[in-house]
Structure 1
């Protein structure tokens, strides 16, 4: 009887332990809790991200990350995604190696590693090299859908937005559409601009515009819409109408070609200037650190004349080793020599932004029924090749172009998140406390050894 009772007690305790273990596993699995014990909360989501995830809890969020199978960056990103899952009840993520699932990568037009697709409420956003700020802003755009129409002007020899050739703009058009913007090709017929277009992209015109087309573009600007003007170098004396038009908005278009022999040191051509200096105070280039390249570019700077109603800002500058070459015939022969008398030394500005501070056409402002803020915007770049299929994915070219489109479209769906970095705090010990610290580090182990030795010696003597 006693033996039976002991066996029953053992089985009963085992069952209780098993049930307890199962309950604990269920609680831990369902209610996953993490504590960030670092002083600056390095491994916690920002307050803005947590707030946004709580606002989006009514709809599921699916993140598809295309990373190599065994990659340390993947593991760090998965830690971030797990934090998001704790704040959103329907947050799901999946990792895919694009080399192992090429059909899926092709379906979502994934061309590079470290690409992330975010799916929310039937809409998608694509991000490359994701950070918390990029993901939070993608979710913000998905949660607050707005219609933005980007129109590519054609009819003057501009690059085609549907061409998949090296000089086409199909990749740029797809990048714009990946931000849930609408794209169209338009012709400025009889000086009219379509009302639905918020941004007009003029990419590398080869022929002059008619006078009424320039007037239509100026009216567009005064109505609070925007222009992305990409103008390549032209033959001496050609393209004067563009020079005069841009000068109306405080932009000086140089009749030269930028030479940058530093580009050869990074594997480029001296006619493909490298840009790594940006104006930090402007939304387009704020926090922008990637280099950009502009094949055969011309100088574009703020005009010397001041315009009280316009804010003109240079955005991108070449290095100090570059210059603006004015002797174009010699340059065509392969001769690139800096001449102090005629050439302008670097840094050279090749991108300028313009923003209207006070709307002159008040009647047009009253007629406007949308929510776009008053005041037109322009970004003029002295090159159009940097957004073509051949160069868009080179370094930061694509990111700079998309940043420009977002600013021109007045897309204010943006949250700035400070990147958390571990702070190095050196330990300084006052001189008077060093002896006490040394006594703790060395005195305690020696004291324990002496105490142990005495105890062992006394026990041996007692035996």
Structure 2
């Protein structure tokens, strides 16, 4: 982002006494990255006139100015500085539309388990214009939309709606599908298979060997990714609470090229239908062995040179076999948020946001696998308390033998 600056950018920070050194070190890192990044630090208590000039009333408030425009952030942390730079340098905001009308997840719902408000906040923090879209025969898809997100529909689509999405893609639009298991979509499944060479599996992924602490075998870690800019620097897996298979046929035909983006662990397997949730112990002999594809990316032939696998193809569609992974409950776990945001950034042609986010130091949850919890139990609960007893017993027996 700093490398793409065309003009000088000025950052003015009003700090509290004692914070100058820390803030100077932080901002100096940005200045070393780009000669166009300049900053000034003012003690708020000692510079009331300067603070009044910029309308500053609180410690840490920061003014970012670029090309005659300026904006204010509450504190100069990296996320807020990047957001301010994007806000000032972008000629226009990219519009991300969440489709509704089929029982999709609500990005305005703040409920921890059922809500997806954090998803909206994550997009807005990267300066996207987030809207909701209801497809109608009269209006269709409005102009100016960069990416349409279909997040966890519960009802099938009308054929007219799918054709509207197809026209949107033909005109250069991008679509992200996140489709949960155990919902039947005859029209959508046929549409993805025929138009885009992708098969939605009528199944659920099971992983007994990589169960998380407190989780079941249906909450799976996704460790295997295709070499692709969306996930090029991933260091942690993604957690899918409940996932279906998404298989790319891999046939480059009819102006479409589909390929696998992510797979489950080789020890996982896929069980068909709702059989896996009817009770009883599931067995690998009953399912299809892993690794199972849970995400696919589709490049569509374009008249203009794109960034797809072939020179005449442009990647415009991503299909993920789960939507719960970005609910309020799960979005901050492991690499979940990065996978979603990177996907939207790639589809929205905001590649610089991918690399900038992956360089940030993040605090995340550490999920223990089921086998790891068993080893920790034996180490901490059995062996460690027993060690003094064992040592004491050995010393006692030695002394008794000598005596």
Q: With the length of structure 1 as denominator, give the TM-score of the two structures.
A: 0.60
| Distance (Å, rounded) in 1 between the aligned partners of 2:206 and 2:166 | 32
Give the CA deviation at 1:289. Answer: 2.0
Does the 8 Å CA contact 2:179/2:323 hold for their aligned counterparts?
Answer: yes
CA deviations over 1:65-100 (Å, ceiling 9, x no partner)? 9xxx99xxx97x964532434646741579xxxxxx
| Distance (Å, rounded) in 2 between the aligned partners of 1:407 and 1:329 | 36
Q: Aligned in 2, Cα 1:118/1:331: closer, same or farther, shift over 3 Å?
A: farther
| Distance (Å, rounded) in 1 between the aligned partners of 2:225 and 2:290 | 14
Give the CA deviation at 1:283. Answer: 1.7
CA deviations over 1:232-270 (Å, ceiling 9, x no partner)? 1125xx222221111120111111100012342554321
Give the CA deviation at 1:122. Answer: 3.7
Q: Aligned in 2, Cα 1:308/1:61: closer, same or farther, shift over 3 Å?
A: farther
Tell me the residue number matched to 1:403: 342
Tell me the residue number matched to 1:246: 192
Does the 8 Å CA contact 2:103/2:152 hold for their aligned counterparts?
Answer: yes
| Distance (Å, rounded) in 2 between the aligned partners of 1:251 and 1:64 | 53
Q: Aligned in 2, Cα 1:151/1:168: closer, same or farther, shift over 3 Å?
A: same
Give the CA deviation at 1:170. Answer: 1.0
* Stretch deviating more after TM superposition (327-336 or 348-357): 327-336
Tell me the residue number matched to 1:270: 217
Tell me the residue number matched to 1:35: none
Tell me the residue number matched to 2:207: 260
| Counterpart selection for 2:277 from 300, 321, 331 | 331
Paired residues in the alignment total 323
Tell me the residue number matched to 2:28: 82
Does the 8 Å CA contact 1:293/1:386 hold for their aligned counterparts?
Answer: yes
The CA RMSD over aligned residues, in Å, is 3.9
Does the 8 Å CA contact 2:251/2:257 hold for their aligned counterparts?
Answer: no
Task: Extract unaligned runs of 5+ from structure 2.
Answer: 43-61, 305-311, 360-403
| Distance (Å, rounded) in 2 between the aligned partners of 1:154 and 1:356 | 25
- More strand per residue: 2
Does the 8 Å CA contact 1:85/1:92 hold for their aligned counterparts?
Answer: no
1:320 aligns with 2:266: yes
Does the 8 Å CA contact 1:262/1:274 hold for their aligned counterparts?
Answer: no
Tell me the residue number matched to 1:454: none
| Counterpart selection for 1:288 from 234, 242, 254 | 234
Q: Aligned in 2, Cα 1:84/1:385: closer, same or farther, shift over 3 Å?
A: closer
Tell me the residue number matched to 1:220: 168
Tell me the residue number matched to 2:94: 148
| Counterpart selection for 2:320 from 362, 376, 381 | 381
Q: Aligned in 2, Cα 1:83/1:396: closer, same or farther, shift over 3 Å?
A: closer
1:60 aligns with 2:7: no
SS in 2 for 1:146: coil
Q: With the length of structure 2 as denominator, give the TM-score of the two structures.
A: 0.69
Q: Aligned in 2, Cα 1:334/1:171: closer, same or farther, shift over 3 Å?
A: farther
Tell me the residue number matched to 1:351: 295
Task: Extract unaligned runs of 5+ from structure 1.
Answer: 1-47, 95-116, 361-372, 420-463
| Distance (Å, rounded) in 2 between the aligned partners of 1:314 and 1:64 | 49
Give the CA deviation at 1:318. Answer: 1.3
Larger Rg: 1
CA deviations over 1:392-448 (Å, ceiling 9, x no partner)? 1111111110001111112244696999xxxxxxxxxxxxxxxxxxxxxxxxxxxxx
Q: Aligned in 2, Cα 1:406/1:343: closer, same or farther, shift over 3 Å?
A: same
